[in-house]
Structure 1
Amino acid sequence: MTQLFDVVLPVFLVVGFGYAVAWRGWFSESAVDGVMRFAQNFAVPVLLFRSIATLDLSADFDLPMLAAFYVGAFASFMLGAFGARRIGRPPQDAVAIGFACLFSNSLLLGVPITERAYGAEALAGNWAIIAVHSPLLYTFGITVMEFTRARGEDLSVGRVALRALTGVLRTPLVIGIVCGIAMNVMLQAGLVLPGGFWAGIEMMSRAALPSALFALGGILYRYRPEGDSRAIAICCVASLILHPSVTFGLGRLFDLELSSLRSAVLTAAMAPGVNAYLFASIYGVAKRVAASAVLVATALSILSISVWLQILP
């Protein structure tokens, strides 16, 4: 119970504050969208840039940890996509629902909860997962969706792949990650930047998580659950139960260090992120399911995260 109040509750209080002010009409939808655009397009990419630029790439990229996490993620996609087809959703809906199961909220929830539970020094594994997260999963999701949409069209594999790659490279989160990796390489080569540069980056980074969590609450209020209960249930089971369970099992099998196991399992245990809804919005399919899954799974994750905090030493 102490972990619930000390670790999980503060993060969800910020989300709840955003939800409450949107519910009471004290913050308009356009204002919520503006805060989220600031967070996702500017502050969060800067945070990713700073974190990855200073990451020890050779030491922190634990391949067994990444394998445990991403095997669980793709298993969740398979459950979501095939489950959606079994309940009668069309193919493009199934891809969007699978993506919601695949894309855990690694940054906005995973980072602050891991930091509050185990300290800032425990985040190296989180940043390694996040460095791969958006580029890999967006590339996978967009590629699968483009091939699904191209079925029956006279399009070459190269043209479909180019459309997928273009979509990935336009994503602000991916741009922040790529720039962070480039800066990391230059710093390792001996580049020295003035302290004022890093001070400005630090100021922008500190605004990222609070603003994004607050805006997440406002967005969750807007997309309240309406029907689609079976699809939403599939998303919750895949993201909150299957993904962390597979990751934990593989982590124990691979004999991961405790810090790596914590980062991987807690990140896997997060609810789908707002990017699940943004992905559905790009293609105009399963938007209500994606938004409702984010809301319901985020609420349920308060309990599931507390369980994993008890299981992990």
Structure 2
Amino acid sequence: MGQVLDVVAPVFAIIAAGFLAHWRGMIGKAGIAGLNSFAFAVATPALLFASGTAGHSGGGWAGLVFFTAAFAVYGGVLLAGRWRGWSLRRSGPMALDATFGNTVMMGIPLILAAYGQQGLSILLVIIALHSLLLLTTATVVSELAQNAQARKWLLLRVSILGVMRNPIVMAVLSALVWSTLGLPVPDWLRRALNLVGAATPGVSLFCLGASLVGFNLAAGWRQMSVTVVAKLLLLPAMVFCLCRLLGLS
């Protein structure tokens, strides 16, 4: 229990600091938006590229397990919504809520704290495909919910191209190509990437806390309770069982 608190307590302390700073007006919306843009478009890509070219390997099986479970839950929520008589326009966002994790702002700091660089290298596989697979699927489902006659292949192509412009995805794919080609990263560049990337965990958590200001928990608690059960109980349980089945550590 003490080890868990050592990892989790600093994470939630920084989230609380971000919430309080924004709530008290110490940092306004423009400042938070700037910090968020820095974390998303500069610091995180630097960290992911540095990690992806550091020579660590692994994560393929972890990615397979995660996305197998994620799409099982995604489909399950859609089917449950159909059984309840919900429209695709309502059940589609719920399915995304139940499967799309905060792999960057929350995932990176937690993984770094618990498992270090080797853990982050494994997480890279999930981050690389996370938006590409889940957001593309959600976009297609959303468009079909609004227009059943929509051209599916055109939707798929546009969605994939949109996700590919994501700086997080581009950083991971660039690191994969760089490593595959065996290209060296100059020492000065790696030090620069590490310096900028080191800001990712703290800034991301701070912005995450600030984003909670004004969040109305009471407004959507019924729908939220469904997605919380699916996301924080069902999905992790499925991942755990699949990992045990495949003999993963």
TM-score (structure 2 length as normaliser):
0.89
Pick one of 150, 171, 192 that aligns with 2:184.
192
- Secondary structure of 1:26's partner? coil
Letter matched to residue 74 of structure 1: F
Could you say if the C-alpha distance between residues 4 and 158 of structure 1 is closer, same or farther in structure 2, counting changes exceeding 3 Å? closer
Paired residues for 1:262-281 under 5 Å: none
Structure 2 CA distance for aligned equivalents of residues 174 and 235 of structure 1 = 25
Counting only pairs closer than 5 Å after superposition, residues 241-260 of structure 1 correspond to structure 2 as 241-256=233-248, 258=249
Show the 5 A alignment for 1:129-144: 129-144=126-141
Q: Secondary structure at the match of 1:107?
A: coil
User: Equivalences for 1:94-109 in 2 at 5 Å?
Assistant: 94-109=91-106
Structure 1 unaligned blocks of 5 or more: 259-313
CA distance in 1 between partners of 2:12 and 2:236 (Å)? 20
Secondary structure of the corresponding residue to residue 32 of structure 2: helix
> How many angstroms does 1:213 deviate by?
0.9
Match of 1:60, SS? coil
Q: Which aligned pairs between 1:1-313 and structure 2 lie closer than 5 A?
A: 1-56=1-56, 59-63=57-61, 65-84=62-81, 90-152=87-149, 155-186=150-181, 188=182, 191-256=183-248, 258=249
In structure 2, how many angstroms separate the alpha carbons of the residues matched to 1:210 and 1:84? 38
Secondary structure of 1:102's partner?
coil
Cα contact 2:139–2:159 (8 A) shared by 1: yes
SS at match of 1:220: coil
Q: Which whole-Å CA distance do the structure 1 matches of 2:64 and 2:157 have between them?
A: 27
Count of matched residue positions in the alignment of Structure 1 and Structure 2: 249
Distance 2:87 2:179 in 1: 43
Q: Displacement, 1:17?
A: 0.6
Does structure 2 conserve the Cα–Cα contact (< 8 Å) formed by 1:52 and 1:131? no
User: One-letter code of the match for 2:129?
Assistant: V
User: What is the TM-score of this pair, normalised by structure 1?
Assistant: 0.72
Cα–Cα, structure 1 residues 161 and 129, in superposed 2: closer, same or farther, change >3 Å?
Answer: closer
Gaps of 5+ in 2: none
Bigger relative CO (Cα 8 Å, ≥ 6 apart): 2
Matched residue type, 1:167: G
Structure 2 CA distance for aligned equivalents of residues 84 and 38 of structure 1: 38
CA displacement, residues 184-223 of structure 1 (integer Å, 9 cap, x when unaligned):
223x2xx334211111111111111211110010011232
The offset of 1:236, in angstroms, is: 0.6
The letter of the residue matching 1:34 is G
Structure 2 CA distance for partners of 1:2 and 1:177, relative to 1, 3 Å? same
Looking at secondary structure, tell me which structure has more helix per residue. 1
The percentage of counterpart residues that share the same residue type is 28
* CA RMSD between the two structures: 2.2
The answer to whether the Cα contact below 8 Å between 1:134 and 1:173 also exists between their aligned partners in 2 is no
Give the secondary structure class of the aligned counterpart of 1:222: coil
Q: Which moved more, 1:31-40 or 1:243-252?
A: 31-40
AA matched with 1:172: P
SS at match of 2:184: coil
Instruction: Report the more deviating stretch, 89-98 or 38-47.
Output: 89-98
Per-residue deviation, 1:147: 3.1
CA displacement, residues 246-296 of structure 1 (integer Å, 9 cap, x when unaligned): 00011111111x2xxxxxxxxxxxxxxxxxxxxxxxxxxxxxxxxxxxxxx
Q: In 1, distance between residues paired with 2:118 and 2:69?
A: 25
* CA–CA distance in structure 1, aligned partners of residues 51 and 41 of structure 2: 16
Alpha-carbon offset, residue 91 of structure 1: 2.2
